[in-house]
Amino acid sequence: MDKQQARERIRQLSEELSDHNYRYYQLADPVISDYEFDRLMNELGALEKEFPEFLSPNSPTQRVGGWVTREFVSVAHQYPMLSLDNTYSEGELRDFDNRVSKLLNEPYEYVCELKIDGVSISLIYRNGELAQAITRGDGVRGDDVTMNVKTIHSVPLKLAPGDYPANFEVRGEIFMPLSGFRRMNSQREEEGEQQFANPRNATAGTLKTQDSAEVARRPLDIFVYYLLGDEPVGNTHFERLNLLRKWGFKVSDIKAKCKSIDEVFQFINDIGANRSQLNFDIDGVVLKVNSISQQEKLGFTSKSPRWAIAYKFKAEEARTRLLSIDYQVGRTGAVTPVANLEPVFLSGSTVKRATLHNADVMAALDIRVGDEVLIEKGGDIIPKITQVDYSVRKPGTSPEGFITHCPECGTALKRNEGEAAWYCPNETGCPPQIKGKLLHFIARKAMNIESLGEGRIEVLYDNGLVKDAADLYDLTYDKLFGLEKVIAGEDGKEKRISFREKTVQNILAAIENSKSVPFERVLFALGIRFVGETVAKKLARHYRSIERLAAATQEELVTVDEIGEKIAGSILGFFAESGNRKMIERLKAMGVQFEMSGEKVSESNLLGGKNFVVSGVFSSYSRDELKAAIEANGGKVTGSVSSKTDFVVAGDNMGPEKRRKAEELGIRIISEDEFTAMIS
């Protein structure tokens, strides 16, 4: 391939992959398999390696946290992972039952289970221990995601002694409970991260994450529903489910033995009626012939077992009309189009608004004001528009172009290549961004000045009293007392926001108290994009003061646990803004904590100019404390062992690759005690 062709192919692949990315994350409607996606991504990666001059920093291969380029090992399934035949119709379910009845020609029963809407997984156990967890992949080969699956508490890693075979395989569904999904998404929103469209996407995305520590923080769970192996165990599927439970696996309680197809329909109707009570998404009911010998008699087609079928629920849908489109600006400046709909009743509530996600989604739907649309409520919290009925569109309408300027401050919108969202870049002058940042600052987990709250921040902003967090500390009793605003509440009733004596005293006391909020929470409160609670903690413990953090380079930042290039870039960008630096100076002058209190690591130049690599787990330091101690004594920490490395500080479970490399290069490997001696 010559240069010209390579450039063209790279451009084409980048566009295609960005499109698939947004279909996956935003529309929750991928049109290609994970396997195909990875193939394209690998092709792009290989070309960029060969022609580095065409590698753009915004290439899909450079996206962290999006669809990560995967380096999971692909492995063959011992037994192919087939799918299930499925139907939405009662008639077809009866047809299935008639076929079973004819083929068996003897009495039989079914087991009905929930069809969990998650990601299927194959768990391989050897001698009672989890040996491997493999995704479905293309059914024949899947990805080894053992490290990630091991973080899920409901997956047993080691079974208690029992009557299970030496080798067996369990299939199940990994999913994210709705409560956890909502919590995680609102946290992501707070941290300026892209939200997942639904729990299934969140689960799939999480299992593909390279960083198992991050996976461990995501609320994943599992139900298992299928036991395989060469040794026969139990005579019925139901018995096998009970055995699985006895061995320590999580099996859903919601299941039933049914003697006839009418009993199956009863189960389906019961589930359908109570579906909204479940704390996880299901997309139907699976029925399986119970007897294993009858299952064997029925066998498999090339694609699916003849002894099972999935009855899928139709998503609840409603038809309504698009009245207008609003554009909302969030704390990070991202502009989200929101559809105002003619109110319509759907799955228990009246829907008036639906998200349109972003400009690409709007363009893909070619949606226009006045259109009749179909809306759906899935596991998603916000209803979405799934279809436009073009057949009844009135003539003379034109496509709804995305706005070009911020609806709040008039600034021209920007879009980063490869990202779906348009942004208002006017961070310091755009009202919802300013108010959003203030709200984040006062949140309970940040500075805990919650006596202020959204309505009151609005009043302060309207009266020109606050424009950034530092202004909060200039507030006085006289400035606040007597402020008032009447607003229309959610319910249409008037709501009066007033600053009476007691309120003002509470607010001022909370602001005063916030001066003792520890540095790590102050850092979180600053609202640096991608710096959530956990990252703020890591940074605070590592750098111990805002000055040291502000002086850190990209190379230094990425050596801190869990800090990747994306977060590092965002931190550098934050401190590059003079407005941010000024605000911090003012906050500091007011007495807000910008350094870690408590025992401070000793400072010296004993390690001056020496390069360190840290690996493993330590008993008297956390990894970050150890790194901070090295830096405080003049040493430098790097991520990988090279000929420039002077010392490797080795803890328990040191990475074998690092040890091998260090030994090969003859680099000194020291224990943490030896290290402590060096700086004492």
Catalytic residue annotation: 115
Binding mask 166-195 for ligand IVH (x = CB under 6 A): -----x-x----------------------
Smallest distance from the beta carbon of 221 to ligand IVH, in angstroms?
13
Q: Is the dihedral of CA 16, 22, 24, 27 positive or negative?
A: negative
| Direct distance between the N- and C-terminal alpha carbons of the chain, in angstroms, rounded to an integer | 59
Cα 190 to Cα 97, 336, 406, 528, distances in angstroms? 50, 15, 21, 10
H or E segment and range at residue 335: strand 334-346
Query: Rule CB under 6 A: is residue 310 a binding residue for ligand IVH?
Result: yes
| Distance between CA atoms of residues 201 and 176, nearest Å | 9
Residue 220 contacts ligand IVH per CB under 6 A: no
E strand or H helix that includes residue 374? strand 372-377
Q: Which stretch binds ligand IVH (CB under 6 A): 15-23, 67-75, 76-84, 599-607?
A: 76-84
For ligand IVH, the binding residue among 181, 196, 225, 621 (CB under 6 A) is 225
Is 222 one of the binding residues for ligand IVH (CB under 6 A)?
Answer: no
Single-letter amino acid, residue 505: Q
* Interface segment toward ligand IVH; rule CB under 6 A; list 81-89, 231-239, 374-382, 657-665: 81-89
In whole angstroms, how close is the CB of 187 to ligand IVH at the nearest point? 27
Q: Tell me which residue has tokens 């996206």.
A: 63
Of positions 42, 83, 293, 416, contacts ligand IVH by CB under 6 A: 83
Does 116 bind ligand IVH (CB under 6 A)? Our answer is yes
Query: Which part of the chain contacts ligand IVH (CB under 6 A), choosing from 304-312, 380-388, 551-559, 644-652?
Result: 304-312
Of 117 and 672, CB closest to ligand IVH: 117
In the complex, minimum distance from the CB of residue 310 to ligand IVH, in angstroms, rounded to a whole number: 5
Q: For the CB of residue 29, give the shortest distance to ligand IVH in the complex, in Å.
A: 17
Nearest-approach distance from CB 273 to ligand IVH, in angstroms: 19
Residue 286 binds ligand IVH (CB under 6 A): yes
**Comparison of 308 and 583: residue with beta carbon closer to ligand IVH:** 308
Using CB under 6 A, count the residues that bind ligand IVH: 17
Maximum Cα–Cα distance across the chain: 88
DSSP state of 595: B
Q: How far is the CB of 25 from ligand IVH (least distance, A)?
A: 21
Q: Which amino acid is at 437?
A: K
Torsion region of 544: left, alpha or beta (phi above 0 gives left; psi -120 to 50 gives alpha): left
Q: List the helix and strand counts (H, then E) for the chain.
A: 25, 24
> β-strand 255-258 against 282-289: which pairing, if any?
unpaired
Q: Under the criterion CB under 6 A, does residue 84 sit at the interface with ligand IVH?
A: yes
What are the DSSP E strand ranges found in 391-507?
414-415, 422-423, 484-488, 494-498
Of all residues in this chain, which one has the CB nearest to ligand IVH in the complex?
120
Q: What angle do CA 69, 210, 196 make, to 5 degrees?
A: 80
Which 8-state DSSP code applies to residue 24? I
Residue 162 CA to residue 170 CA, distance in Å, equals 16
Q: Say whether residue 204 binds ligand IVH (CB under 6 A).
A: no
Residue from 305, 337, 532, 635 touching ligand IVH (CB under 6 A): that is 305
* Cβ 85 to ligand IVH shortest distance, Å: 8
Shortest spacing between CB 5 and ligand IVH, in angstroms: 40
Q: How far is CA 607 from CA 109, 557, 622, 634, 647, in A?
A: 74, 20, 19, 5, 10
Nearer to ligand IVH, 226 or 267 (CB): 226
Q: Which is nearer to ligand IVH, 184 or 308 (CB)?
A: 308
> In the numeric block, which tokens belong to residue 17?
């992959």
Q: Does 155 bind ligand IVH (CB under 6 A)?
A: no
Give 63-112 as a DSSP string.
Answer: -SSSSPPP-PPEEE-SS------EES-HHHHHHHHHHHHHHH-S---EEE
Interaction between residue 17 and ligand IVH (CB under 6 A): no
Q: Which residues bind ligand IVH (CB under 6 A)?
A: 82-84, 86, 113-116, 120, 171, 173, 225-226, 286, 305, 308, 310
